[in-house]
Amino acid sequence: MAIGAGVIAMDTLTLLFHGTQAVFQPLNFLFLILGCVLGQAIGVLPGIGSAAAIALLIPVTLNLSPTASVIMLAGIFYGTNYGGTITSVLMNTPGESASVVTAIDGYQMAKKGRGGPALGIAAIGSFIGGTVGTLGLAFGAQWFSDTALKIGASEYFALMIFAVALVTVLATGSPVKALLMGVLGLLIGTIGIDPDLGIPRFTFGQIKLYDGINFIAIVIGFFGLGEILVNIERKVQDTIYTQVGSVLPNKQDLRDSAAPIARGTLIGFVLGIIPGATSAIASFLSYGVEVNRAKDPSRFGKGAIEGVAGPETANNSFVNANFIPLFTLGIPGTASIAMIMSGMMSNGIVPGPFLFRDNPDFVWTVIASMLIGQVILLVFNLPMVRIWVLLLKIPYSILFVLILEFTLIGAYAVSYDTFNMYVMTISGFFGYLFKKMDFPATPFVLTLVIGPLIEKNLRKSLEISSGEFAIFYQRPMTLILLLGAAFTIIWPVFKWLKMRLKNQKESSRSRNGGA
């Protein structure tokens, strides 16, 4: 057993070594640097997140090799987290949701003139979390992949339903709204020619709809334009940020941060494997753990370095572990990962159990690039903080117009069709309306991307069983996953009902008491 594990570890190291060699090929390395730089910039700049940025750049990658493309898209994804920290700490305006918690203590540190060490420890924690997350991916993914190869269509269908259930329940706000968004995504995925019988569905006689609605254009609209519309309805505020100073944490800072970084790495990694968990959950959970473990919890919220170190580490460990369900099961856990999945598919790479078997060179090069990417980000982040801050001097009134232009280019270039510009604009408007009413976008994007796979596996399962639904309860793993999905969805409803009953009892008791 131990010898077997040792052999697997050696194999993994050899594959990683080969992957590393491939990363240093000029084109791959250039696009790795480009992805990291773009990710940092996008994290710093307001108004555009990693999901929209990746969607915008997918058309550009179609002229590249699949490896260089995905190296760049992945770089944008994990690079965004590094950049997002800068605005959180210096301006108290988190670039993305995962950095919200960093702003609590990070901004307080900056106000006390310790913005530099806050950014420094965030970068160090991010580096450790990201590296451990990637190593976990490298050593764990093969096992996941081998296990996933043993599952059939019904299990795969059940697994995806379970992932969708987790995403909807873990989304912020009402689970009913999240489910509605999930179903809407599935529904849009059915538009076009039916893959089995070749019959058009919901195309209204429009030939442009025969291939379905391009989901990249929809995502660009939802996340890119939708965000801009939310921002421009208010008056744009001037950028106010604190000074950076030295970025090097002192010995005491490092001592205080060591344990939070270790705990953050573990929290982020475990949550990263679960589809539907978000990096915001990972960072908030890490923050909660640090507050609970602190000897003096009252320091938190007033500039405690542990409140920056733990969440930032969790956030980056999460992001890299997120690739495990994508690479091994073909299931994206977050909107950005869903976009990387579509980037892979657009480049002819199918994520899932066969990825390691069919495209080993690709997958190990991408994993190795993520390890090297962490080093690049650390080098770019710490000494160059002041340069990134300069980006914040671009007035939003100019920036938003340029982002609008890129949303149009991204939507058009995905299939060189102006029809997608309409799709993007209309999606953006709906994205804006849904955002205003707290309908979460992630379940929508997830089901939009994996919807056709869900339908394919559902139909395949029923074809295998000659239309008998018994296949879903006679196969143990399928049954467990479906029961898990049902429990995941029903539990919040049960909790809500219980809370209502409790409220009713209390109000009737107070009425009786009053009488």
Partner 1 sequence: MKRAENITASIFMVLGIFVIKGATSLIYMTDIGPGPGFFPMWLGVLLLFLGMLLIIQNVFSKKNAEIVSAEPSEPLWPGKAGAIRVAIVVLSLLAVAFFISYVGFRIAIFLLISSLLYTLGKQKILTTLSVAFVGSFGVYFVFTHFLYVELPKASLSWLSALGL
Contact predicate 37/205, CB 8 Å: no
CA 319 to chain centre: 7
Structure tokens given for 102: 């960093």
Q: Which of residues 278-317 bind partner 1 (CB under 8 A)?
A: none
The binder of partner 1 chosen from 56, 70, 225, 441 (CB under 8 A)? 225
- Considering only 34, 459, 477, 479, the residue that binds partner 1 (CB under 8 A) is 459
Choice between 229 and 280, CB closer to partner 1: 229
The answer to whether 369 and 28 have CB atoms below 8 angstroms apart is: yes
Q: Which of 190, 206, 237, 508 binds partner 1 (CB under 8 A)?
A: 190
Helix (H, G, I), strand (E, B) or coil at 200: strand
Count, in order, helices (H) and strands (E) of the chain.
Answer: 23, 2
Judged by CB under 8 A, the residue of 294, 384, 391, 462 near partner 1 is 462
Report the alpha-carbon distance of residue 483 to residue 468 in Å, rounded. 18
- 422: which residues sit within 8 A by CB, 6+ positions away? none
Which is it for the CA torsion 345, 353, 53, 124, positive or negative? negative
Which structure tokens are listed for 399?
A: 């920036």
Least spacing, CB of residue 482 vs partner 1, in Å: 14
**Does 466 contact partner 1 by CB under 8 A?**
yes
Residue 179 binding partner 1, by CB under 8 A: yes
| Owner of token pair 């909807």 | 168
Which of 26, 150, 238, 397 binds partner 1 (CB under 8 A)? It is 397
How far is Cα 170 from Cα 444, in angstroms, rounded to an integer?
Answer: 13
Contact 310, 125 (CB under 8 A): yes
> Considering the rule CB under 8 A, would residue 474 count as an interface residue with partner 1?
no
**Interface pattern 482-511 for partner 1 (x via CB under 8 A):** --------------x---x--x--------
22 CA to centre of own chain = 26
What are the structure tokens assigned to 387, written together? 């340069």
Within residues 398-417, the interface with partner 1 by CB under 8 A covers 398, 400-402, 404-405, 407-409, 412-413, 416
Residue 232 binds to partner 1 (criterion: CB under 8 A): yes
Rounded Cα distance, 397 and 155, in Å: 50
Q: Considering the complex, state which of residue 12 and residue 442 has its C-beta at the smaller distance from partner 1.
A: 442
Measured CA to CA, the distance from residue 217 to residue 409 in angstroms comes to 10
Asked if 176 interacts with partner 1 (CB under 8 A), we say yes
Q: Does 239 bind partner 1 (CB under 8 A)?
A: no
Q: Is 177 in the site for partner 1 (CB under 8 A)?
A: yes
CB of 175 to partner 1, least distance (A): 10
**Binds partner 1 (CB under 8 A): choice among 187, 240, 490, 501:** 187
CB of 74 closer than 8 Å to CB of 366:
yes
Does position 207 interact with partner 1 (CB under 8 A)? The reply is no
Out of 284, 388, 439, 472, point to the residue binding partner 1 (CB under 8 A). 439
**Residue (14 or 510) nearer to partner 1, CB:** 510
Asked if 325 touches partner 1 (CB under 8 A), the answer is no
Encoding tokens for residue 196?
Answer: 């089995």
End-to-end CA distance of the chain: 72
Residues that bind partner 1 (CB under 8 A): 59-60, 63, 174, 176-177, 179-180, 183-184, 186-187, 190, 194, 196-197, 199, 201-202, 225, 228-229, 232-234, 395, 397-398, 400-402, 404-405, 407-409, 412-413, 416, 418, 421-422, 424-425, 428-429, 432-433, 436-437, 439, 455, 458-460, 462-463, 466-467, 496, 500, 503
